[in-house]
């Protein structure tokens, strides 16, 4: 079996340990998203999608700060193992950026990748909020709830954008073979036009 380094492990004896572990995991996820979003902004073609990603970048920075403050309130730093789940989800998004794709189809793919990110986060935040409630951390539960609502709204916004514009345009995108055919036809027409102009102008 392949041996690999085990990321620094936390002792998880109590629900509080697990709560703090989840908060650190979410923090790692948010930090990775902060790095990934500018690349998604750049890769997106649709202006509304670019602006949705940009807005979510600013929101994500605030969400990371909330986690930092929450952990500090519990006497903990935000340092912890890298969230490997988010790393994988973001890697898929990164692959989408690198695909040889029609720009409208790529936009639809970027939305699919971003919605996976939101759902992954919502799952993690939902668990953390439940632990906060059980542990009597009212302030924590409230802060986490604010973030869950933001993630939900971001997800909803992407669904709306996909359904109203982006998926529709992606559906209308020509296939690679018909794009090549159009190009060939265009060059034939322009060739014929050039010949005609040459004949006329002598
Ligand atoms: Fe987030």
Measured in angstroms, how far is the CA atom of residue 63 from the centroid of ligand 1? 6
Point out the least confidently predicted range of 1-15, 96-110, 136-150, 176-190. Answer: 1-15
Residue 133, domain member (yes or no): yes
For the segment 81-90, what is each residue's pLDDT rounded down to a tens digit?
999 999 999 9
Nearest to 60 by CA among 144, 150, 131: 150
pLDDT at 75 over 50: yes
- Count of the separate structural domains present in the chain: 1
The predicted structure's pLDDT at residue 202: 67
Question: Using N-to-C axis directions, what is the helix angle for 103-134 and 15-43, rounded to 10°?
Answer: 160
Residue 189 pLDDT grade (very low, low, confident, very high; cuts 50, 70, 90): low
Residue 182 pLDDT grade (very low, low, confident, very high; cuts 50, 70, 90): low
Measured in angstroms, how far is the CA atom of residue 167 from the centroid of ligand 1? 24
Residue 9, domain member (yes or no): no
Quick one: tokens of 95?
A: 């692959």
Rounded CA separation 162/119 (Å) = 16
Rounded CA separation 105/167 (Å) = 8
Measured in angstroms, how far is the CA atom of residue 2 from the centroid of ligand 1? 33
Record the pTM.
0.83
By the 8 A CB rule, do 120 and 89 touch? yes
Point out the least confidently predicted range of 11-15, 45-49, 80-84, 171-175. Answer: 171-175
Name the one residue in this structure whose structure tokens are 């403050």.
69
State mean pLDDT over 189-198.
73
The predicted structure's pLDDT at residue 113: 96
Cα torsion for 25, 31, 32, 36, to the nearest 10°?
150
By the 8 A CB rule, do 122 and 169 touch? no
Measured in angstroms, how far is the CA atom of residue 30 from the centroid of ligand 1? 5
Residue 192, domain member (yes or no): no
Residue 73, domain member (yes or no): yes
By the 8 A CB rule, do 153 and 115 touch? no
Residue 198, domain member (yes or no): no
Q: Give the domain range for residue 123.
A: 15-174
pLDDT at 7 over 60: no
Residue 95, domain member (yes or no): yes
Residue 100, domain member (yes or no): yes
Measured in angstroms, how far is the CA atom of residue 27 from the centroid of ligand 1? 9
Residue 74 belongs to a domain with what CATH number?
Answer: 1.20.1260.10
């Amino acid at each position: 079996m392949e041996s690999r380094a085990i990321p620094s492990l936390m002792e998880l004896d109590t629900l509080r340990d697990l709560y703090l572990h989840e908060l650190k995991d979410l923090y790692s996820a948010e930090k990775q998203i902060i790095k990934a979003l500018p690349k998604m902004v750049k890769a997106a073609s649709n202006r509304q999608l670019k602006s949705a990603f940009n807005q979510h970048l600013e929101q994500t920075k605030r969400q990371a700060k909330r986690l930092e403050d929450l952990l500090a309130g519990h006497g903990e730093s935000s340092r912890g193992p890298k969230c490997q789940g988010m790393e994988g989800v973001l890697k898929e998004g990164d692959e989408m950026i690198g695909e040889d794709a029609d720009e409208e189809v790529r936009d639809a793919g970027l939305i699919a990748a971003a919605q996976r990110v939101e759902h992954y986060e919502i799952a993690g935040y939902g668990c953390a909020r439940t632990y906060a409630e059980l542990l009597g951390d009212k302030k924590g539960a409230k802060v986490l709830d604010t973030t869950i609502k933001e993630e939900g709204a971001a997800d909803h916004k992407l669904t709306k954008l996909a359904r109203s514009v982006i998926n529709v345009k992606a559906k209308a995108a020509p296939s690679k073979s018909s794009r090549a055919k159009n190009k060939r036809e265009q060059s034939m027409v322009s060739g014929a036009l050039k010949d005609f102009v040459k004949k006329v102008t002598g």
